[in-house]
Amino acid sequence: MDRRTRQRLAIVEAIEKASGPVMPQEILRVAAANVASMNLSTVYRTLSRMVAEGVIVPVQLPGEPVRYERREAADTHHHHFRCTSCDSVYDLAGCVAGLKSLLPRGFKMIRHDITLYGTCRKCGA
Amino acid sequence: MDRRTRQRLAIVEAIEKASGPVMPQEILRVAAANVASMNLSTVYRTLSRMVAEGVIVPVQLPGEPVRYERREAADTHHHHFRCTSCDSVYDLAGCVAGLKSLLPRGFKMIRHDITLYGTCRKCGA
DNA sequence: CTAGTTGCAAAGCATTTGCCTGTGG
DNA sequence: CCACAGGCAAATGCTTTGCAACTAG
Protein backbone atom coordinates (compact mmCIF):
# COMPACT_ATOMS: atom_id res chain seq x y z
CA MET A 1 0.00 0.00 0.00
CA ASP A 2 2.38 2.66 -1.22
CA ARG A 3 -0.01 5.57 -0.92
CA ARG A 4 -2.21 6.62 1.96
CA THR A 5 -5.40 7.38 0.09
CA ARG A 6 -8.71 8.27 1.69
CA GLN A 7 -10.16 5.04 0.31
CA ARG A 8 -7.53 2.81 1.86
CA LEU A 9 -7.73 4.48 5.20
CA ALA A 10 -11.50 4.05 5.21
CA ILE A 11 -11.22 0.38 4.27
CA VAL A 12 -8.62 -0.33 6.93
CA GLU A 13 -10.74 1.46 9.48
CA ALA A 14 -13.82 -0.53 8.53
CA ILE A 15 -11.98 -3.80 9.10
CA GLU A 16 -10.47 -2.69 12.40
CA LYS A 17 -13.79 -1.47 13.72
CA ALA A 18 -15.49 -4.76 12.92
CA SER A 19 -16.19 -7.16 15.75
CA GLY A 20 -15.28 -10.17 13.63
CA PRO A 21 -14.61 -11.28 10.06
CA VAL A 22 -16.45 -9.09 7.54
CA MET A 23 -17.49 -9.39 3.94
CA PRO A 24 -16.46 -7.01 1.12
CA GLN A 25 -20.02 -5.69 0.80
CA GLU A 26 -20.08 -4.85 4.48
CA ILE A 27 -16.72 -3.11 4.21
CA LEU A 28 -18.01 -1.09 1.28
CA ARG A 29 -21.07 -0.08 3.24
CA VAL A 30 -19.07 1.11 6.24
CA ALA A 31 -16.26 2.74 4.28
CA ALA A 32 -18.66 4.52 1.95
CA ALA A 33 -19.92 6.42 4.98
CA ASN A 34 -16.55 8.21 5.09
CA VAL A 35 -15.65 8.31 1.41
CA ALA A 36 -18.68 8.85 -0.78
CA SER A 37 -16.98 7.76 -3.99
CA MET A 38 -15.97 4.41 -2.49
CA ASN A 39 -16.20 1.65 -5.04
CA LEU A 40 -16.49 -2.14 -4.69
CA SER A 41 -13.56 -2.69 -7.06
CA THR A 42 -11.40 -0.58 -4.83
CA VAL A 43 -12.47 -2.64 -1.85
CA TYR A 44 -11.58 -5.89 -3.58
CA ARG A 45 -8.27 -4.57 -4.86
CA THR A 46 -7.31 -3.21 -1.49
CA LEU A 47 -8.27 -6.43 0.27
CA SER A 48 -6.07 -8.42 -2.12
CA ARG A 49 -3.12 -6.24 -1.36
CA MET A 50 -3.66 -6.39 2.36
CA VAL A 51 -3.80 -10.17 2.16
CA ALA A 52 -0.58 -10.21 0.12
CA GLU A 53 1.03 -7.95 2.71
CA GLY A 54 -0.17 -10.16 5.50
CA VAL A 55 -2.16 -7.42 7.19
CA ILE A 56 -5.42 -9.37 6.96
CA VAL A 57 -6.36 -12.97 6.26
CA PRO A 58 -9.30 -14.41 4.34
CA VAL A 59 -11.86 -16.34 6.38
CA GLN A 60 -13.69 -18.91 4.30
CA LEU A 61 -16.81 -20.49 5.73
CA PRO A 62 -18.51 -23.35 3.87
CA GLY A 63 -20.90 -22.08 1.22
CA GLU A 64 -20.38 -18.38 1.83
CA PRO A 65 -18.50 -15.51 0.30
CA VAL A 66 -15.08 -14.74 1.81
CA ARG A 67 -14.76 -12.62 4.88
CA TYR A 68 -11.59 -10.95 6.14
CA GLU A 69 -10.13 -10.32 9.55
CA ARG A 70 -6.95 -8.71 10.88
CA ARG A 71 -3.94 -10.98 10.78
CA GLU A 72 -3.26 -10.08 14.35
CA ALA A 73 -6.44 -11.95 15.27
CA ALA A 74 -5.31 -14.87 13.14
CA ASP A 75 -1.88 -15.18 14.70
CA THR A 76 -3.29 -17.23 17.51
CA HIS A 77 -4.77 -20.43 16.11
CA HIS A 78 -8.53 -20.22 16.25
CA HIS A 79 -11.76 -21.22 14.55
CA HIS A 80 -15.12 -19.66 13.80
CA PHE A 81 -18.69 -19.62 14.96
CA ARG A 82 -21.49 -18.56 12.68
CA CYS A 83 -24.83 -17.56 14.19
CA THR A 84 -27.55 -19.09 12.06
CA SER A 85 -29.93 -16.46 13.30
CA CYS A 86 -28.12 -13.16 12.67
CA ASP A 87 -25.37 -14.49 10.33
CA SER A 88 -22.59 -12.88 12.34
CA VAL A 89 -19.27 -14.67 12.51
CA TYR A 90 -17.24 -14.81 15.72
CA ASP A 91 -13.71 -15.94 16.46
CA LEU A 92 -13.39 -18.87 18.83
CA ALA A 93 -10.21 -19.26 20.88
CA GLY A 94 -8.58 -22.66 21.15
CA CYS A 95 -8.84 -25.92 19.33
CA VAL A 96 -9.55 -29.59 19.90
CA ALA A 97 -7.33 -32.65 20.13
CA GLY A 98 -7.65 -35.87 18.19
CA LEU A 99 -8.10 -34.58 14.66
CA LYS A 100 -5.28 -36.75 13.38
CA SER A 101 -7.12 -39.84 14.51
CA LEU A 102 -9.68 -39.16 11.78
CA LEU A 103 -7.09 -39.69 9.06
CA PRO A 104 -7.02 -42.93 7.07
CA ARG A 105 -3.55 -44.53 6.88
CA GLY A 106 -1.37 -42.90 4.29
CA PHE A 107 -3.01 -39.50 4.64
CA LYS A 108 -1.07 -36.58 6.03
CA MET A 109 -2.79 -33.57 7.64
CA ILE A 110 -1.27 -30.16 7.08
CA ARG A 111 -4.03 -27.94 8.38
CA HIS A 112 -7.69 -27.97 9.32
CA ASP A 113 -10.77 -25.78 9.53
CA ILE A 114 -13.53 -26.03 12.08
CA THR A 115 -16.78 -24.10 11.89
CA LEU A 116 -19.42 -24.20 14.61
CA TYR A 117 -23.00 -23.21 13.88
CA GLY A 118 -25.74 -22.22 16.27
CA THR A 119 -27.05 -19.17 18.07
CA CYS A 120 -24.87 -16.47 19.55
CA ARG A 121 -25.50 -14.87 22.91
CA LYS A 122 -27.55 -12.01 21.44
CA CYS A 123 -29.84 -14.31 19.49
CA GLY A 124 -30.04 -17.06 22.08
CA ALA A 125 -32.11 -15.01 24.48
CA MET B 1 -37.93 -37.44 -10.16
CA ASP B 2 -41.19 -38.38 -11.83
CA ARG B 3 -39.67 -39.62 -15.06
CA ARG B 4 -36.81 -42.01 -15.69
CA THR B 5 -34.98 -40.13 -18.42
CA ARG B 6 -31.62 -41.07 -19.87
CA GLN B 7 -30.18 -37.86 -18.43
CA ARG B 8 -31.28 -38.55 -14.89
CA LEU B 9 -30.07 -42.10 -14.95
CA ALA B 10 -26.67 -40.95 -16.19
CA ILE B 11 -26.42 -38.30 -13.48
CA VAL B 12 -27.38 -40.71 -10.73
CA GLU B 13 -24.87 -43.19 -12.03
CA ALA B 14 -22.10 -40.59 -12.12
CA ILE B 15 -22.67 -39.77 -8.47
CA GLU B 16 -22.85 -43.40 -7.39
CA LYS B 17 -19.69 -44.31 -9.22
CA ALA B 18 -17.76 -41.46 -7.63
CA SER B 19 -15.36 -42.29 -4.83
CA GLY B 20 -16.33 -39.16 -2.88
CA PRO B 21 -18.19 -35.85 -3.14
CA VAL B 22 -18.18 -34.55 -6.72
CA MET B 23 -18.75 -31.21 -8.38
CA PRO B 24 -21.43 -30.48 -11.02
CA GLN B 25 -18.81 -30.04 -13.73
CA GLU B 26 -17.36 -33.44 -12.94
CA ILE B 27 -20.82 -34.99 -13.02
CA LEU B 28 -21.44 -33.41 -16.40
CA ARG B 29 -18.17 -34.77 -17.73
CA VAL B 30 -18.92 -38.32 -16.61
CA ALA B 31 -22.60 -38.30 -17.52
CA ALA B 32 -21.94 -36.79 -20.93
CA ALA B 33 -19.99 -39.93 -21.78
CA ASN B 34 -23.31 -41.80 -21.76
CA VAL B 35 -25.69 -39.11 -22.95
CA ALA B 36 -24.11 -36.90 -25.56
CA SER B 37 -26.69 -34.11 -25.27
CA MET B 38 -26.14 -33.79 -21.52
CA ASN B 39 -26.38 -30.20 -20.42
CA LEU B 40 -25.05 -28.40 -17.34
CA SER B 41 -28.49 -26.91 -16.62
CA THR B 42 -29.91 -30.39 -16.51
CA VAL B 43 -27.23 -31.43 -14.07
CA TYR B 44 -27.97 -28.51 -11.77
CA ARG B 45 -31.74 -29.00 -11.96
CA THR B 46 -31.45 -32.70 -11.29
CA LEU B 47 -29.09 -32.16 -8.37
CA SER B 48 -31.55 -29.71 -6.80
CA ARG B 49 -34.31 -32.25 -7.04
CA MET B 50 -32.21 -35.01 -5.62
CA VAL B 51 -31.27 -32.82 -2.69
CA ALA B 52 -34.93 -31.96 -2.11
CA GLU B 53 -35.77 -35.65 -2.21
CA GLY B 54 -32.98 -36.41 0.21
CA VAL B 55 -31.18 -38.75 -2.16
CA ILE B 56 -27.98 -36.70 -2.06
CA VAL B 57 -26.59 -33.98 0.17
CA PRO B 58 -24.50 -30.92 -0.67
CA VAL B 59 -20.93 -30.89 0.65
CA GLN B 60 -19.59 -27.39 1.13
CA LEU B 61 -15.89 -26.93 1.65
CA PRO B 62 -14.50 -23.50 2.50
CA GLY B 63 -13.90 -21.40 -0.58
CA GLU B 64 -14.99 -23.96 -3.14
CA PRO B 65 -17.99 -24.73 -5.30
CA VAL B 66 -20.48 -27.23 -3.87
CA ARG B 67 -19.94 -30.93 -4.24
CA TYR B 68 -22.56 -33.64 -3.73
CA GLU B 69 -22.53 -37.10 -2.24
CA ARG B 70 -25.11 -39.83 -1.64
CA ARG B 71 -27.22 -39.28 1.42
CA GLU B 72 -26.53 -42.82 2.44
CA ALA B 73 -22.90 -41.79 2.96
CA ALA B 74 -24.07 -38.79 4.94
CA ASP B 75 -26.31 -40.73 7.29
CA THR B 76 -23.36 -41.58 9.44
CA HIS B 77 -21.88 -38.39 10.87
CA HIS B 78 -18.60 -37.68 9.14
CA HIS B 79 -16.27 -34.97 7.89
CA HIS B 80 -14.06 -34.32 4.90
CA PHE B 81 -10.48 -34.38 3.80
CA ARG B 82 -9.29 -32.40 0.84
CA CYS B 83 -6.01 -33.29 -0.82
CA THR B 84 -4.18 -30.07 -1.59
CA SER B 85 -2.24 -31.86 -4.27
CA CYS B 86 -4.90 -33.56 -6.41
CA ASP B 87 -7.95 -31.64 -5.08
CA SER B 88 -9.91 -34.83 -4.39
CA VAL B 89 -12.26 -34.86 -1.44
CA TYR B 90 -12.62 -37.91 0.80
CA ASP B 91 -15.08 -38.81 3.53
CA LEU B 92 -13.62 -39.27 6.98
CA ALA B 93 -15.38 -41.52 9.45
CA GLY B 94 -15.85 -40.38 13.02
CA CYS B 95 -15.59 -37.11 14.86
CA VAL B 96 -13.81 -35.48 17.76
CA ALA B 97 -14.89 -34.60 21.29
CA GLY B 98 -14.62 -31.27 23.01
CA LEU B 99 -16.05 -28.96 20.38
CA LYS B 100 -18.51 -27.50 22.87
CA SER B 101 -15.65 -26.32 25.03
CA LEU B 102 -14.76 -23.82 22.31
CA LEU B 103 -18.05 -21.98 22.80
CA PRO B 104 -18.16 -18.67 24.68
CA ARG B 105 -20.82 -18.54 27.41
CA GLY B 106 -24.26 -17.84 26.01
CA PHE B 107 -23.52 -19.51 22.69
CA LYS B 108 -25.33 -22.65 21.68
CA MET B 109 -23.91 -25.10 19.12
CA ILE B 110 -26.33 -26.84 16.78
CA ARG B 111 -23.96 -28.36 14.31
CA HIS B 112 -20.37 -28.20 13.09
CA ASP B 113 -18.16 -28.74 10.08
CA ILE B 114 -14.60 -29.99 10.09
CA THR B 115 -12.34 -30.02 7.05
CA LEU B 116 -8.88 -31.51 7.07
CA TYR B 117 -6.31 -30.54 4.43
CA GLY B 118 -3.17 -32.31 3.40
CA THR B 119 -2.01 -35.04 1.06
CA CYS B 120 -3.92 -38.23 0.38
CA ARG B 121 -2.32 -41.63 0.12
CA LYS B 122 -1.91 -41.42 -3.64
CA CYS B 123 -0.19 -38.05 -3.53
CA GLY B 124 1.78 -38.64 -0.37
CA ALA B 125 4.09 -41.17 -1.94
C1' DC C 1 5.51 15.71 -12.52
C1' DT C 2 4.20 10.73 -12.90
C1' DA C 3 3.72 6.21 -11.11
C1' DG C 4 0.46 4.34 -8.18
C1' DT C 5 -4.77 4.50 -7.55
C1' DT C 6 -9.41 4.90 -8.40
C1' DG C 7 -14.02 4.68 -10.87
C1' DC C 8 -16.61 2.71 -14.24
C1' DA C 9 -17.84 -0.59 -17.36
C1' DA C 10 -17.04 -4.89 -19.26
C1' DA C 11 -15.51 -9.61 -18.59
C1' DG C 12 -15.37 -14.01 -15.85
C1' DC C 13 -17.22 -17.98 -13.28
C1' DA C 14 -20.62 -20.74 -11.13
C1' DT C 15 -25.37 -21.16 -10.86
C1' DT C 16 -30.25 -20.07 -12.02
C1' DT C 17 -34.10 -19.14 -14.92
C1' DG C 18 -37.27 -18.36 -19.01
C1' DC C 19 -39.00 -20.32 -22.80
C1' DC C 20 -39.90 -23.24 -26.33
C1' DT C 21 -39.17 -27.97 -28.06
C1' DG C 22 -38.97 -32.90 -26.96
C1' DT C 23 -40.65 -37.18 -24.75
C1' DG C 24 -41.90 -40.65 -21.13
C1' DG C 25 -45.84 -43.04 -19.50
C1' DC D 1 -51.69 -37.00 -25.59
C1' DC D 2 -49.61 -33.53 -22.61
C1' DA D 3 -47.43 -32.47 -18.27
C1' DC D 4 -42.94 -33.12 -17.02
C1' DA D 5 -38.03 -32.67 -18.77
C1' DG D 6 -34.34 -31.00 -21.36
C1' DG D 7 -31.57 -27.66 -24.35
C1' DC D 8 -30.12 -23.24 -25.10
C1' DA D 9 -29.44 -18.65 -24.21
C1' DA D 10 -30.01 -14.93 -21.26
C1' DA D 11 -29.92 -13.40 -16.50
C1' DT D 12 -27.68 -13.41 -11.72
C1' DG D 13 -24.49 -12.54 -8.06
C1' DC D 14 -19.87 -12.20 -6.72
C1' DT D 15 -15.31 -11.10 -8.10
C1' DT D 16 -11.71 -9.64 -11.42
C1' DT D 17 -9.80 -6.81 -15.00
C1' DG D 18 -8.89 -3.10 -18.71
C1' DC D 19 -8.40 1.47 -19.25
C1' DA D 20 -8.69 6.32 -18.97
C1' DA D 21 -8.86 10.02 -15.50
C1' DC D 22 -7.04 11.36 -10.94
C1' DT D 23 -3.88 12.33 -7.10
C1' DA D 24 -0.42 11.51 -3.45
C1' DG D 25 4.25 12.42 -2.61
Question: What pLDDT score does B72 carry?
Answer: 82
Per-residue confidence band for A73, with pLDDT thresholds at 50, 70 and 90: confident
Q: B51, B90, B102: which to substitute to probe chain A, counting the most A Cβ within 10 Å?
A: B102
pLDDT over 80 (residue B1): no
Same domain, A54 and A96: no
With beta carbons under 8 A apart, name residues in chain A contacting B118. Answer: 103, 107-111
Range of the domain at A41: 6-73
pTM above 0.85, yes or no: yes
Residues in chain B with CB shorter than 8 Å from the CB of A107 are: 81, 90, 118-121, 124
Inside any domain, residue B27: yes
Query: What string of DSSP letters covers A27-69?
Result: HHHHHHTT-TT--HHHHHHHHHHHHHTTSEEEE--TTS--EEE
> Which residues are paired to A112 by β-bridges?
B116
- CATH number, domain of B23, equals 1.10.10.10
Rounded to 5 degrees, φ, ψ at B106 are: 95, -10
Q: Which one-letter DSSP state was computed for residue A79?
A: E
> Does the pLDDT of residue B120 top 90, yes or no?
yes
Per-residue pLDDT tens over the stretch B43-83 = 999 999 999 999 999 999 999 999 999 998 778 999 999 99
Res B124: pLDDT: 83
The H or E element spanning position B114 is strand B108-119
Per DSSP, A99 falls in state G
B42/B79 same-domain check = no
A66 and A112, same domain (yes or no):
no
Task: Measure CB to CB from residue A96 to each of B60, B98, B120 and give the nearest one.
Answer: B98
